[in-house]
Amino acid sequence: MTVLLSESDEVLARDRPDVDFNGRFIEVRRNLVAGRVTTPKNGKTRRVDMSAQLTDALRALQRTRKKETLKNGWGSVPDWIFCTESGGPLDGDNLRHRVFYKLLEKAELRRVRFHDLRHTFASLLLQNGESPAYVKEQMGHSSIQVTVDIYGHLIPGANRQAVDRLDDATRRNPRATRTEAAIKQ
């Protein structure tokens, strides 16, 4: 499943209206920090694309929430996508310690920070040929320079591919590498 690339505070602040199942994106317009809803770090809203697999998983979770609402006698389906047993927003520390770390242990994976999922997301995109501009938009970086400074080393063979393209270009047009003096001789 594609990892949601947001900060843990952004993940927890998601509510149902933030998810567009038809457009397959999540609108990041708030964080949940210490139980308070705040604006994103840079103050800007952004859209994060959802893979088909993530879209299906969130739709399944939405169906589960409807069943839980009936079972628990909640007045309505909680606005929060990720919620407590009483329908309120999850606490970030509880998510990390009671859920995330236990899942890593059960899957026999090394313990990583929740924030590392964000880096994994960006790294995988770049290593699979996505443009730094797209990654910048998905990550919510203030500039492409931030993205390149953090993840530029992960662009596979970028320099080697560039010089290989030069070889191809000069094979197609041998005159492109000749100086004017060499052409006149």
> What is d(CA 74, CA 93) in angstroms, rounded to the nearest whole number?
25
- Are residues 104 and 113 in contact, defined by beta-carbon separation less than 8 angstroms? no
Which tens digits make up the pLDDT trace of 2-44?
444 455 445 544 455 688 999 999 988 877 777 778 777 777 8
Instruction: Let me know if residue 151 belongs to a domain.
Output: yes
- Band of pLDDT at residue 122, cut at 50, 70 and 90: very high
Domain that holds residue 167: 113-176
- The type of residue at 75 is G
How many domains is the chain built from?
Answer: 1
168 within a domain of the structure (yes/no): yes
pTM of the model: 0.70
pLDDT at 88: 82
Residue 144: predicted pLDDT: 92
Residue for token digits 């992960």? 154
In a domain, 13, yes or no: no
Would you say residue 152 lies in a domain?
yes
Alpha carbon distance 52, 58 (integer Å): 10
> Does the pLDDT value for residue 129 go beyond 90?
no
